[in-house]
Amino acid sequence: MEIRTVGYDHPDAVRLVAEVQQEYVARYGGADDTPVDPRQFDLPGGLFAVAYLGGAPVACGGWRARDADPYGLCDGDAELKRMYVVPGARGRGLARALLRHLEAAAVAAGRSRMVLETGTEQPEAVALYTAEGYAPITKFGLYRDEPSSICMGKHLDPAGPAAVPGPAAAPRPGERDASPV
């Protein structure tokens, strides 16, 4: 697998994001309406990546810088967005590798915590994030009042591998997408 940093508006990213939106429609009955500005994924305030197998785009994901808000986000947060692996490439560890790549990039950009919003209809995403050390945090974002919304976070360690799992991922005062993986 090769992971390339691309713009959120790169043709491969646009195609994969459209596919993940269709996955949301199938699982939740509608697309994710969370406001997203492609410029939010430009360094140093964010990053968007596409993973390729044999030259074909098979996975995507990104993060955007987030700072404190009234709903639980904190200064230094990086919000994971649009994690997706095409159905034919699932089960090969691509999502895990892409997630670790995005965590490392967020650490390099000075971000201290990765946060995400996923949902009850994405059990494979919840299992991946839990296995990678993410823990529930205060709900944030557009879907914070939806019963199917699940928000998770993980504190990133600038001195360690990419991040530190465990108790450090517990919610902080003032805290809060993951997609099918």
Which residues have CB under 8 Å from 80's CB, separation 6+?
61, 62, 63, 99, 102, 114, 115, 116, 177, 178
- The helix (H) or strand (E) run that includes residue 58 is strand 56-66
Calpha distance 141→139 (Å, rounded): 7
Q: How far is residue 143 from each of residues 36, 42, 133, 146, measured CA to CA in Å?
A: 14, 24, 23, 5
Can you give the residue range of the structural domain that contains 124?
2-169
Instruction: Report the domain count for the chain.
Output: 1
**For 14, what's the count of Cα atoms within 13 Å in the CB-facing half-sphere?**
4
pLDDT tens column, 41-72: 999 999 999 999 999 999 999 999 998 999 88
Q: In this model, does residue 96 exceed pLDDT 50?
A: yes
Q: Look at residue 63 and tell me if it is in a domain.
A: yes
Per-residue confidence at 73, pLDDT binned at 50, 70, 90?
A: very high
The DSSP symbol for 175 reads B
Specify whether the CB–CB gap between 64 and 46 falls below 8 A.
yes
Q: Look at residue 21 and tell me if it is in a domain.
A: yes
Q: In this model, does residue 177 exceed pLDDT 60?
A: no
Q: Look at residue 178 and tell me if it is in a domain.
A: no
Helices (H), the chain: 11-28, 94-108, 123-131
pLDDT tens column, 119-173: 999 999 999 999 999 999 999 999 999 999 999 999 998 875 544 333 333 333 3
Calpha distance 157→33 (Å, rounded): 31
Q: What is the CATH number of the domain that holds 100?
A: 3.40.630.30
Nearest to 114 by CA among 74, 144, 54: 74
Looking up tokens 């305030």 gives 45
Structure token pair of residue 64:
């955007």
Average pLDDT, the chain: 89
Looking at the DSSP bridge assignments, the partners of residue 115 are 79, 153
Q: Look at residue 179 and tell me if it is in a domain.
A: no
% residues pLDDT > 90 (the chain): 84
Q: Look at residue 177 and tell me if it is in a domain.
A: no
